Each structure stands twice: as structure tokens, then as C-alpha cells.
Amino acid sequence: MSGYGERYDQYYTAVEAALPGYLPREETLQKTVQEAMAYSLLGGGKRIRAVLCLAFCQLCGGTVEEAMPFACAIEMVHAYSLIHDDLPCMDDDDLRRGKPSCHIQYGEAMAVLAGDGLLTLGFGTMLDQHHTGKYSPQRVVKAAAELAGAIGSAGMIGGQVIDIQHEGKPITGEELDLLHSLKTGALIRASARIGCIVAGAPDDVVARADRYARNIGLAFQITDDILDVTATREVLGKPIDSDRENQKTTYVTLYGLERSRQIVRDLVQEADLAIKGSVLDDPFLYQLADRLAQRDR
Amino acid sequence: MSGYGERYDQYYTAVEAALPGYLPREETLQKTVQEAMAYSLLGGGKRIRAVLCLAFCQLCGGTVEEAMPFACAIEMVHAYSLIHDDLPCMDDDDLRRGKPSCHIQYGEAMAVLAGDGLLTLGFGTMLDQHHTGKYSPQRVVKAAAELAGAIGSAGMIGGQVIDIQHEGKPITGEELDLLHSLKTGALIRASARIGCIVAGAPDDVVARADRYARNIGLAFQITDDILDVTATREVLGKPIDSDRENQKTTYVTLYGLERSRQIVRDLVQEADLAIKGSVLDDPFLYQLADRLAQRDR
């Protein structure tokens, strides 16, 4: 078994190599939106959702190749959510990963459509696997249904709604938990679950993967809040202290830095417990949880 | 066999009765987006896409009940496309079916999210049918894949891109055909195809349904262009002559009123030929094509 960094790099490199192949080939008249989709999809990022999907599929007896179209589809959906979140009417962010946001680069109309296009392409990429004959239709439909359940108005979109509606308003710790569990947690959990589903894992394993992902997802988000006040603009590639500027309630404003760091440690421990003694009991997942909570960007 | 009007009303009434049941139940914090989704989805319209889906399913030996979740899912996707098309950064339309557009009623952020929510719910509604045990996973995945193929950047979204990019610029007849075949045609074709697929129709029947729908879809669009210059604001429920105001090239500006009307008649004849002598050879479809081309709103 190779070390953590090496293994993450292997997954990451495989995802980066595979992603462009799922983009539509450029037609004359719709070229701009397809460029905008490529700009945002291939614009970097840690690919943590794809890595989770690939890793869980492998741990459940599947292969990286099997999970790849599903992992790439999840990254498309993640990219769509970032494009729409950055829009002037939403979070109004001009920078994403140190580069102009999609609407700054391509204009607002094209950014809305590029987001719509990536969301649709995410579903299409999963569903098209049916035609390859490599997957049972049951697994394809189950994976795509997981995605739809995770990112709708009762999932990721609902999280963004709560976020926008509470901007500049007080929010309780419970509401903040719900916000994060929907806005970022739902898709991270779906990533792990879909990896298991593609490999045909039994329900109890899917449930363990879900519990692991739920905890690291929240740890990831709280670490984001911590970094927003501690990191420098250069390291982060986006404006720092943007949460305070936008008057957002975060774990840090609610609990302070030290207590927030302790919550992260507790969540990582919870994640560890979820996989302990199961087929998912693998050094990579323990280290992934640790690193997510200790990252400096 | 009941008459055309009676049969359309039966389909229409069944769709209107079924649609609310597919909307998410309201949660406390995400309530606003779910209201905005309901506002646009239940805000009227002819439900022509849903009717096509139901009718084709029936003609292929299926039932209205079987086709209903798929027909409703298609209406959700149609509603999403209208919400995003109306946005200030797109067509900037304040009125939709005589009522304030979604972004006028709920604000821009909520309108973007309501559109995203309805698109996601459309896929989710189809995919969730897997859990009912009433459909083979093959049919569910095939129907959902049809949808994804029809509405992506090579389909409906691509049509909107071409539309926006050609606003105020000259467009050829060929480009206008492509624009309509993508922007409205793709989803109308998918509606008919999905109806057939749900009933388990063979490929040649799906191809006939596709050809019928392609022709009536274009006839429908050209009739829209004609109505934009001939109807009154009161009858249409939206600003008339908006195309000329937006300097859009339409069939009417390209070919004039009389030639446009002739093209519509030719398309209806083509649609008729597609179904003649097949299981789809039914008075309802002939009359539907006729009425679409002769409607006054």
C-alpha cells in the first residue's frame, strides 16, 4: 500500500486526466458555453469529492476505472454549484481559486448557462454509463438518484438558500450545522455513497461511508471558516476575512478559534469510528480525515 | 374514443392534479425556494410537453399513470428553463403567463436557485421511480438519459446560448432552425420519446414519435413568432412585439407572415406523415398538430 500523499496524487492525477474527456465536443454556435463549462470544471481544486468516490469504490472491491465517470460527474455538479454561488445575485465573488470567477470571465448569462450545463452534464455522464454495458442499470439509476437527492432543495440547494437568507442575520449553532450539512455535506456524503454503490456494496457499508463523510464534510467546512480568519490571501487564492465582510455567522464567530479547532478534532475522531473494523478500515481514509482538518489552504 | 378537446382536457387535468404531489414538502429554513419552485411550476401553461408524454405512452400500450411522474418531471425541467430564461442577465422578462416572473416575485438569487431546484427535481422525480418497483431500472435510466441528452449544452441550453449570442445580430435561416431545434425542439422531442420509452416501445416507434415531435415543435415555435406580431397583449399574457423590441431575428422577420404560415402548414403535414400507418396513427395526434399551428395564444 503506497503512502497517503502518493495515493491522493494518483487519484487526483487520474481525475484530472479523465475530466476533459467528459466535456462535450465543441460545436460552432454553442462554443462559448462549452468553453465556460471547461473553464470552471478544469480550473483546479482539490478534487476531494472525486477522490472520495474513487477511494470508497476501491475499498468496496470496485476499481478506479469503474468509479471514474461517476467521480467526474460529481466534480461537474460541484463546479456548477460554485459558478452559481459566485454570481452577483448570490455571494458576488469575483475570484475563484485565484482566477476570475466564471461570470467575470464570460459574463453573467453565460455563467448561469454554464452552471446549468454542468449540472445537466453531471446527470448525463452518470446515466450514459448505461450504454457502455459495463454497469447494471440498477447501479446507474441508484447512483444518479443519490446525486439528485443530495443536491436538490432538501440538500445542497437548500443549504445555499439558508446561507443567503441568513446573511447579516443572527444564526444559531443548530441552524449553522444544518446549513453546512446541506450546502457542502450532502454532496460530500453522496460522493462516498456513490463510490460504494458503483462497487455494489451492501447497505451497512454505504451507511458507514455516509457517517465517515458526514463527519469529515463538517470538519472540512469548519476548517474553511477557521482559514477564512487565519490564512493569508496569497495562500488561499481568494479574499480572506470575506465572511466577516459579508457579516456571515461562522463556527469561528459562534464558538471562537480554539473551540472550533476542538470541534474539528472531535469530528475527525467520529469519522474514524465510522470505518473502524469494517472493509473501509484503511490508512488512507484515516489520513485523509486528519489532513483535511490540518490543511492550511 | 373521446374528442380532441375532451382528451386534451383529461390529460391536462390529470397533470395539474399530479404536479403538486411531486414538489418537496416544505422545510422550515428552505421554505422560500420551495415556494418559488411551486410558484413557477404550478403557474399555468398548456402542459403540452406532459400531454405529449402521456399520449405517446398510451399509444404505445402504457398507461397515463405510468407516464405521469415522467411527464411531471419534464414540466419541472420546462419550468426551470423559463425561470432562467427570464432572468435579468438573459431575456430580462418581468412577466410570465400574465404574472410577475419568478425573479420579480422572489428576487434574483431565489429565482436562480428555484430553477436549479426544479432541474434537479426533474431528474430526481424520474430516478426515484426506481424505488417504486413499478418500472424496470432499464426504462428509468433510458428515460432520464433521454432527458439529460435533450437539455444539455448540445440541446436546450445550447439553444439559449445561440439565442443570447445572436440578439441584435443577423442570423441565417439555417441558424434559426438550429436555435429552435435546440431551444424548444429538443425537450418537446424528448417528451414524446420518453412517453414511448416508459411504455417499452421499440426503437422504430420511438423514431416516429421523434419525427412527429420535431415537426410540431418547430411549428409551435414559428407560431409563437407569428403570434408575437399578431396577438394582443391581453390575449397572450405577455408583452407583444417583444421580439422586435429585442431586435431578434424570427421566422416572421426572415420570411414574412404569409411564408411563415406556409412553413407551419408544411411542418404539420410532415408530422402527420411520421405517424401515418403506425401504432401512433391516432386522431388525437393529428388534431394536436393542427391545433398547435392554429392557436391564437
Q: pLDDT for B210-238, tens place per residue?
A: 999 999 999 998 998 898 888 755 555 55
Q: Count interface pairs A-B at CB distance under 8 A.
A: 175
pLDDT number for residue A241:
60
Residues of B in contact with A116 (CB under 8 A): 84, 115-116, 119, 157
DSSP B31-75: HHHHHHHHHHHTS----HHHHHHHHHHHHTT--HHHHHHHHHHHH
pLDDT, one tens digit per residue, over A115-144 is 999 999 999 999 999 989 899 999 999 999
**CA closest to B174 among chain A residues:** A29
pLDDT number for residue B43:
83
Distance in angstroms between the alpha carbons of the first and the last residue of chain B: 27
Residue A104 contacts B where some CB pair is shorter than 8 Å: no
Please compute the mean of the pLDDT values over residues A240-265 and round it to a whole number: 82
In three-state secondary structure terms, B96 is strand
* Backbone region of residue A47 per phi and psi (left: phi > 0; alpha: psi in -120 to 50; beta: other values): left
Residue A153 is which amino acid?
S
**CA closest to B131 among chain A residues:** A142
| pLDDT at residue A236 is higher than 90 | no
Looking at chain A, how many residues does it have?
297
C-alpha distance from A67 to closest chain B C-alpha (Å): 18
| pLDDT at residue B168 is higher than 90 | no
| pLDDT at residue B296 is higher than 70 | no
Is A123 close to B140, i.e. CB distance below 8 A? Answer: no
Do residues A79 and A41 lie in contact, with contact meaning Cβ atoms separated by under 8 Å? Answer: yes
**Nearest Cβ partner for B124 among A116, A138, A152:** A152
φ, ψ for residue B26, nearest 5 deg: -75, 125
List all residues 6 or more positions away from A189 whose beta carbon is below 8 Å from its beta carbon: A150, A210, A213, A214, A217
List all residues 6 or more positions away from A153 whose beta carbon is below 8 Å from its beta carbon: A161, B24, B30, B33, B34, B37, B113, B117, B120, B121
pLDDT number for residue A65:
97
Residues of A in contact with B182 (CB under 8 A): 30
Residue B160 contacts A where some CB pair is shorter than 8 Å: yes
Cell 484530472, located at residue: A16
What mean pLDDT is reported for chain A? Answer: 92
| pLDDT at residue A154 is higher than 80 | yes
| pLDDT at residue A245 is higher than 70 | no
**Nearest Cβ partner for A121 among B108, B131, B152:** B152
C-alpha A253, offset from chain centre: 24
B247: number of CA atoms within 13 Å, CB side?
7
Give the global pTM: 0.94
Do residues B154 and A30 lie in contact, with contact meaning Cβ atoms separated by under 8 Å? Answer: yes
Please compute the mean of the pLDDT values over residues A77-81 and round it to a whole number: 98
Residue B172 contacts A where some CB pair is shorter than 8 Å: no
| pLDDT at residue B278 is higher than 90 | yes
- Complex confidence, ipTM: 0.93
C-alpha B213, offset from chain centre: 11
| pLDDT at residue B297 is higher than 60 | no
C-alpha distance from B121 to closest chain A C-alpha (Å): 6
Distance CA A192, CA A212 (A): 9
**Nearest Cβ partner for B152 among A24, A152, A179:** A24
Closest listed residue to residue B67, CA positions, set B84, B48, B51:
B51
Do residues A113 and B81 lie in contact, with contact meaning Cβ atoms separated by under 8 Å? Answer: no
The DSSP code for B95 is: E
Lowest average pLDDT, out of A262-266, B195-199, B243-247, goes to B243-247
Distance CA A92, CA B177 (A): 36
**Banded pLDDT at A147 (limits 50, 70, 90):** very high
Burial class (CB in 10 A: 0-12, 13-18, 19+), B258: exposed
